[in-house]
Each structure stands twice: as structure tokens, then as C-alpha cells.
Structure 1
Amino acid sequence: MNTMVDQKQPHVVFIPLPAQSHIKCMLKLAKLLHHKGIHITFINTRSNHKKLVASGGTDHDFNNIPGFQFKTVSDCTSSGAEDDGVEPMTPTLAEVCMHLGKTFFDSLLDLLSGLETPVTCIICDGFMTYTNTIPAAEKLKIPIILFWTMAACGFMGFYQAKVLTDKGLLPLKDESYATNGYLEMEIDWIPGMEGCRLNDLPEDILATKQDDPTYKFLLKLAQAAHNVSYMIIHTFEELEARLLTDIKSIFPNVYTVGPLQLLLNQIEEKENKKTNFNCYSLWKEEPECVKWLESKEPSSVVYVNFGSLAVMSLEDLIEFGWGLVNSNHEFLWIIRTDLVKEQPVVLPLELEEEMGKKGFLAKWCSQEEVLNHPSVGGFLTHGGWGSIIESLSAGLPMICWPSIGDQHTNCRQMCKQWEVGMEIGKSVKRDEVEKLVKLLMDGSEGKRVKEKAMQWKKMAEMATSSNGSSSLDIDKLANQIIKFL
């Protein structure tokens, strides 16, 4: 069992959205604050906690960290099945989120009242406010901080649901506005996102009806940001300085804490040891990926990973496959079992044979280890923020194929503002994939974005150095938590 939390020690409860990238990001911040003497209670759904333990160790590893404990809540209506010795079906993220929307308020109140010591504050994923975490915190008189596990541009993209509605530009007049050129309209009021179009914002905000459920959800999300006094964003000052200045003019207390892994690296280098547990994955990582990379030439391999949630058609997968094969570059490709929408991943025999000559396929890997491997020279990504900030930290340029959420906004900033990547069109064509891979790995454009990526890597390292902007903000955040006592 965990050692008891000292009554005089600050105690923070973390509430992540139950998705891979959000859990990973929040666990890293929890570890950083734990290192500063703050006790942590981290809340996962039952199935996600089981996955985390199964992929990274044993229950003993997770239950014997002094001052750091994990608690769970149910994630589906049949959650009692495992207590009867029956292996329950793993619910989808949508099913889990629907269930939490109905049950999490009561579950949280029960969980918090059962903790051994008082909670100093709650750090809640900005996307979990729909579960009434703010009213729960107010009911218990516990301060709450929202953590946006994304870039400032990603947060601002979602925030535009409110801004565009206030300006009378949303919802769209009718569905024809999606194809008549209206979405090409530039948004000229966000410093640091100049030239951004409506099309570059999360597509879920571009609703045609006032009562669209997702649109209403995002409006509430934007309003929730105004209902709390403190906000954390997983970015660094140097990357999004002008945009952060604008955000700080709207919200009173904003902490930038990225890249989190580089901050953890600083601790490990100083203490010459790993920081307690080092598992953030809901899936078993395959070490064979790194072993395969060991035999490759420096900067010769394209790493391909479309994240934990993105899906594509089998046709798109095949086009990506032939494009990679025809580029004549070696590649490491992570293909999740559920990557193809509603059907198994079955490749044509000829493509499978050709891919076997140049590529290595796996279901999951230690992404940061792969990105920092000397053999990797470029990254074909979906544009999720976790992947982009990890690639920037490694000094790697990218090719981006965005699909959902903040990925379009991230991709736009990556290509236009930070100049570290290129975008693939929505309709995947093997010739375009081949062309962009060759440009990235061999061309003059590839050389330019590689140089830019290395510059951002140095800036990220500067931000996470002992007196860097992110290091100072972590200290400010820890001090603010202590003031809540």
C-alpha cells in the first residue's frame, strides 16, 4: 500500500481525459510536481488503469510509490463484470465518455471524500469539464486548475467556437458553406496565427445547427475556461510567444510547462536515476522497433505513426504503403490493430512483400525513444500535439496528415509558423506520399525544415533548462499549489 499522505503536504488530484495522449501528458506533469514534494492522486478509468499496469509493470510498481497513488472509476455500465471474474468488453472512448458524463460527478465526490487526507487542488483535463468537475470542486471548496494537454494554438482553435459565435460567424448558415469557399475566410484577430482560415480550425466547431451536440459541447468547453482562475498549457513560451501573450490578456493565470519530457530529463540527469515509474502507454511497446533501428544508417529511416485514435480507410492505408515503398526509403510504421475503420488490416500480398523489403511494421512502440534514435530522419504523423512536441524536442521535421480535433490547427502552425513540416492532402495519393517523403529525406526543402526543427529543439532545451521559461513556470505552479494549503 502507499504511504499515507502527510496532512501538511500539498495534495493534488489529477483528472485526465481517458485517452492515451491525455493520460501520458498528465502523468508527466504529475511526476514533475511529485518530484517537488507534492503528493499525487491520479484518477484513471478501471480498464485504462489495467492497460497501464499491463503494459508497464505490475500492480506492485504502481502501488508502492511514496506519495503517489492511483484511483479508478468505472468506465462502462457493465463495469461490475470484472468483479465477477468475467473479462468485460473494452468500451470505446465514445462509450466511456458518455458513461462518465452521466456518472463521474458522483464518482468523483465519493472518491474525494474517501481519500485519507484533504485535497489541496484538482488539476483537471480541460476536456473533462463536461463531467461537472468544476461544480464538484466548488461543492467541496477545492481550487481547480484546467490543464490543456495541447499547444496554445490548439486551445485557441477550440476557443474560437465561442469567439466566432459571438461575432455571428457560427453556426454556418447551411451546409453549402462547407463547399462554397466560406471556410477559406482568414481569421485575422489572433496574434501568432496570422493567415489561419476557418478550415484550419477543428472541424467540429464548424456546425450548421445551433443545437449540434458537439458544437454545444465546445461552447461549454470555452466557457469553462472562464470559470476557473488558473490554466496550464503544454507548450513553451518561445514557440508560441505572441499567441500566449494574447491568451494571457484573456485569462489571468497561465502556466506553460512544455516539453514535459525534457523537464523530466533534467531531473534524471541531475539525480542520475529514473523518476519513479516510467510507463505512460496503454499498449505494450515493442522493443524490436528500436533493435531494428540499430542496424540502420543515421537519418535514413522514416518513422510513421498516426497516433492512438486516428482511423483511415483500407484504401488510404494501401496508398500510404505504396507511397512509402516507392520512395525507396526505409521506414518504421506503427499500424494499430484498429487503424483501419471498421475492418481488419489486410494488405495486398504484393504490397506486403514490398513493404517487407524496406519497412518494419509494429503495433506500438516507445515513440520518444524512436524519435530520438540517430537512424530516424523524419516523421510522418497525424499531427496530434503529443507527437508534434515530441518531434520538435527531437529536432525532427514532419509530414502531416491531420484528421480530427486540433490536428488541422497544429498542422497549419507546423507548416506555416514553425516551418518544420509539409502537409499531405486529405485524399491520400501514393504519388504525393512518395514525393513528400523524398522531399523530406533528400530535397532542399527537407534540408530547410530539418535545420528549422533543430533550431526549435535548441529553443525547447533552453525553455526547460534550470532558468528557462517552462522550468520557471513549473516552479510558479508548484508554489501556487502550496499557497492553496
Structure 2
Amino acid sequence: MEQRHVQENSIHVLLVSYPIQGHVAPFIKLAYLFAGRGIKVTLVITEFVHASLVAAHPELDGEQYDQVRLVAVPDGLPKEDVRNDECKMGESVFKVMPGHVENLLNKANLEGNQVTCVIADAVFGWALEIAEKMELKSALFWPSAPGVLALTLNIRRLIEAGVIDSNGTPTMKRNKVQLSSDLPPVTSADIVWSYPGNESTQKIMFQHFFAIHQNVKKSDWLLCNWFQELNPSVGDLVPNMFPLGPLLANGKPAGNFWPEDSTCLGWLNRQPVGSVVYVAFGSSSMFSQHQIDELALGLELLGRPFLWVNRSDLINGSSAKFPDGYEKRVANHGKMVHWAPQEKVLAHPAIACFLTHCGWNSTMDGISMGVPFLCWPYFADQFYNRSCICNGYKVGLCLNPDDYGIVTRHEIRRKLDGLLADEGIKANATKLKQMAEESISGGGSSANNLERFIEHMKQ
């Protein structure tokens, strides 16, 4: 055993994440996973991301945290930019980041701190080329769902089935295609690069996913944040796929860009078991004030305790305002915070269900803690994640907007009442939690995949 640990100490992994929270968070959890095995880990992030992480988690401001070293590189944008234009940021990152990463690798070699393996975000195909040039082992990391990966790798099949045209635009035909036996059918509404009414953004996103398709074909190892049992047949579509999840922070900084308000944990301690609706929409979702009013009033109509993460930019860059007298009326059973320690919240026995935007990190958090979902996707992969949660895994229900695009207070109350009364969904959620726990335990599928990848890095 000691000899194995020495060998693993000789491995130095360089992780390279795309600079948005939905990607940085699982990369940090992946870094913890490797570091826990005595592997040296360097995580490359942009200077803007590093500043956001340190502001939210001061303990990350140092040479390393929990055996993980953070290295910040420029993203090519002026400091004053707010970085909410993902197309602009992505274009800049692709121009400047490869040179900085190659310089880091050369510097590490000169200082006797040899990197042995590069693990890059699936969109960063250039990182594979750098690793090959420097004769390093390499792998890609896929931070999203198995169904989204299946979509990405079957673009031509979607075109042939008439679900999309050759430019990636969803057709008006409501054709369906079954990509895998344990995934729900794909319809035009599930296409992750679809941006109705924004043709230029859709074109960029389609190119983005097509590039991922090409990158995955070039990589011998594709590491993923889920467990094999979640969608067993997806592995038939991707022979080099190695799920390592669920990836969890387990009390360490989870890669959030906002400071966590831990007072909500004390508040949860005072609530009955299985009583609280947890409401959180990730780092990007935005709403109109009208929609926020309907959500607030729906939670009030429910008459149950709720914990609501109300980000400071939830309404077009500003905090949501509540209906007149609302905070006073719900003071005895409603708690609002700007950000929450989500893994700890979802693991708390007081939580009854999770009203979520269906981001994949949140989905894996909820599955890991055995919590039923009420789904309210915002954009991109979240719509297909909703299909998987509701129709594939059968651990949730979805909210439907009215003819004006608004999810009404009555729809929210009706679906929450239905979800909390559905014993079948609760049983499915408990079963998935058990499967997730087994996968990362000794001899589990994810634990075995981790061993295989570590052995690969040693060779």
C-alpha cells in the first residue's frame, strides 16, 4: 500500500477548466478527488475566476488548498468587463489561454515540477494538442449530463432523423429519436444549442458542441461527472467514457463564485424533517419581476417552510423585490439567502424537495442526497436534463408556463403539492441515492474507474 502511495505521489495532473461556475465547480471537485489519493494537482483558472473564488472562499487564497494548487491566467478581457457575454468571453479565452497553458507546462518542467497528465475541459481540444506535442498523457473532462453527451456525439443522426437541419436549427417537425435505451427520446425542444430568436448565438453554440464532438473522438479518456448505473447504455455510444461521479466537495469550497450564507443551516435545524422546499436556480438563471412575484406567491400559497436562494443578480443583474408585505407574511416559515452551501442543504433531513433550474451540478447534488426535483430549466442543457429527471430517472416533475410564458403561482403550488405526495418519485430518489453512494464506495463503478485512470497515468 505504501509503495502505491509513493507511485501516486509521482503523478502531477494539470486540470484546465472553462471559466464559468458550472464548469469550475466540478473541476474543483475532481481536483479534490485526485488530491485525496496523494496525487499532485494544479488547477488552471482565469484571473477573474480566481478573484471570484477567493472573494467567496478566502481559504483558497494561498499557494494551495487541500493539496490543490490554483494557478490563474489572463482571459484576454479588460478587468472592468463583467463577463456576462459568454460568446465574447469564449472567443477571447480560446485566443489567449493556450499560450499561457503551454508556458505553464514549460515552466513546470524547468523547475523540476514535471506535469505528467493534462485533463482539460471537453471544449478545449487545443489542450490535447499541447499535451501530445509535449509527450504527456491527456484526457478530457465532460462536466454535463450523459444525455447531453449523447446528443453532442450524435449530431449527424439528429440531422438524418429530421430533428435538426444541417445548421443545427431545430425543425418544426416534432420528430423524436431514441439515442439510448435508458435515455428519454430527443425532440427539438431538447436541443442544447437552440436559442430561439437569437440566430447568431445559436450558430456559435452549435459550432461549440460540434467542436466537442471532434475533441471527444480524438481523446482516449473521457472523464465524466456521473455514475455508470445512472445511464448504463450511454457507454455503448462512448467507448472511452469513464464516469467518476458523483463528484462532491464534502464540506470543502465547492467552486461557487458567491459567499455562502451558512445561517440557513441553523434555520433548517429548527424545521420539521422532510418539510422544507429548497429553491435555487444556479448561477445564470434570470427572471422578470412579474415571474418572481408569481414564484413568491406560489411558495406562500403552499404554506410550507421554504429556503430560497435569491441571488443578487436574479433579475437582469439586480436583486429581486418581493410583493408588498411579503417578507413579513412569510417570516415564520420562509428563509431567503443570496447563496447557500448546497450540498449541506440538500443533505439536511429537513429538506423535502428541490425546486431547480436543472443544471447538471445541481442535478448530481440532488441525486446524491436522494431529493425529489421540481424542474424549471432556463437555457441550454437544462431542458434535456429536465427530460432525464422527469421522464428518464422519474425523480421529479416539471413546471409548465402559461400562454404568456409565465409559470403561475397556482402551477407552482399544484406541482409542489403533487411532488410532495408522490411516493413513487420519493422511492426512485432514494434508490438513486443508494446507487450513487455505492458507485463511489470501494469496488463501485466510479471507484473502479478512478483506479483504472490512476493506473493509466502511472504507465
The normalised TM-score by structure 1 is 0.84
- Hey, what does 2:225 align to over in structure 1? 234
Q: Distance in 2 between matches of 1:238 and 1:362?
A: 35
Equivalent residues in 2 for 1:304-383, closer than 5 Å: 304-383=279-358
Q: Is the 8 A contact 2:245 2:446 kept in 1?
A: yes
Please state how far the C-alpha of 1:474 moved relative to its aligned partner.
0.8
Equivalent residues in 2 for 1:86-485, closer than 5 Å: 88=80, 90-92=82-84, 94=86, 95-115=88-108, 116=111, 117-129=113-125, 132-165=126-159, 170-171=164-165, 180=172, 182=173, 184-204=174-194, 212-248=203-239, 253-261=240-248, 278-426=253-401, 427=405, 428-441=407-420, 443=421, 445=422, 447-483=423-459
Please state how far the C-alpha of 1:145 moved relative to its aligned partner.
0.6
Query: SS of the counterpart of 1:155?
Result: helix
Q: Which amino acid aligns with 1:138?
A: E
Q: Which amino acid aligns with 2:148?
A: G
Q: Distance in 2 between matches of 1:453 and 1:316?
A: 29
Q: Is the 8 A contact 1:237 1:469 kept in 2?
A: yes
Post-superposition CA distance 1:234-260 (Å, at most 9, x none):
111111112223322xxxx22111112
Q: Is the 8 A contact 1:56 1:279 kept in 2?
A: no
Superposition RMSD in Å? 2.8
Q: Which amino acid aligns with 1:191?
A: S
Mean Cα deviation higher: 117-126 or 464-473:
117-126
Q: Distance in 1 between matches of 2:244 and 2:53?
A: 24
Q: Distance in 2 between matches of 1:225 and 1:299?
A: 42
Q: Is the 8 A contact 1:7 1:118 kept in 2?
A: no
Q: Flag the 1:346–1:201 CA change in 2: closer, same or farther, 3 A.
A: same
Q: Which amino acid aligns with 2:84?
A: T
Please state how far the C-alpha of 1:348 moved relative to its aligned partner.
2.6
Query: SS of the counterpart of 2:154?
Result: helix
Post-superposition CA distance 1:77-101 (Å, at most 9, x none):
324xxxxxxxx45433624323202
Q: Is the 8 A contact 1:419 1:449 kept in 2?
A: yes
- Hey, what does 2:3 align to over in structure 1? none
Q: Flag the 1:217–1:65 CA change in 2: closer, same or farther, 3 A.
A: closer
Q: Which amino acid aligns with 2:207?
A: K
Q: Which runs of 5+ in 2 are unaligned?
A: 1-5
Mean Cα deviation higher: 341-350 or 374-383:
341-350
Query: SS of the counterpart of 1:315?
Result: helix
Q: Distance in 2 between matches of 1:300 and 1:422?
A: 18
- Does residue 1:73 correspond to 2:67, yes or no? no
Please state how far the C-alpha of 1:472 moved relative to its aligned partner.
0.6
- Hey, what does 1:84 align to over in structure 2? none
Q: Flag the 1:304–1:7 CA change in 2: closer, same or farther, 3 A.
A: closer
Percent identity between the two aligned chains: 26
Q: Distance in 1 between matches of 2:436 and 2:452?
A: 19
Q: Is the 8 A contact 1:161 1:218 kept in 2?
A: no
Query: SS of the counterpart of 2:124?
Result: helix
Q: Flag the 1:211–1:193 CA change in 2: closer, same or farther, 3 A.
A: closer
Query: SS of the counterpart of 2:151?
Result: helix
Q: Distance in 2 between matches of 1:173 and 1:37?
A: 46
Query: SS of the counterpart of 1:333?
Result: strand
Post-superposition CA distance 1:403-443 (Å, at most 9, x none):
212111111011112110001124311111010111122x2
- Hey, what does 2:49 align to over in structure 1? 48
Please state how far the C-alpha of 1:342 moved relative to its aligned partner.
4.9
Mean Cα deviation higher: 109-118 or 344-353:
344-353
Q: Flag the 1:215–1:174 CA change in 2: closer, same or farther, 3 A.
A: closer
Q: Distance in 2 between matches of 1:139 and 1:167?
A: 39
Q: Which runs of 5+ in 1 are unaligned?
A: 80-87, 266-273
Please state how far the C-alpha of 1:344 moved relative to its aligned partner.
4.4
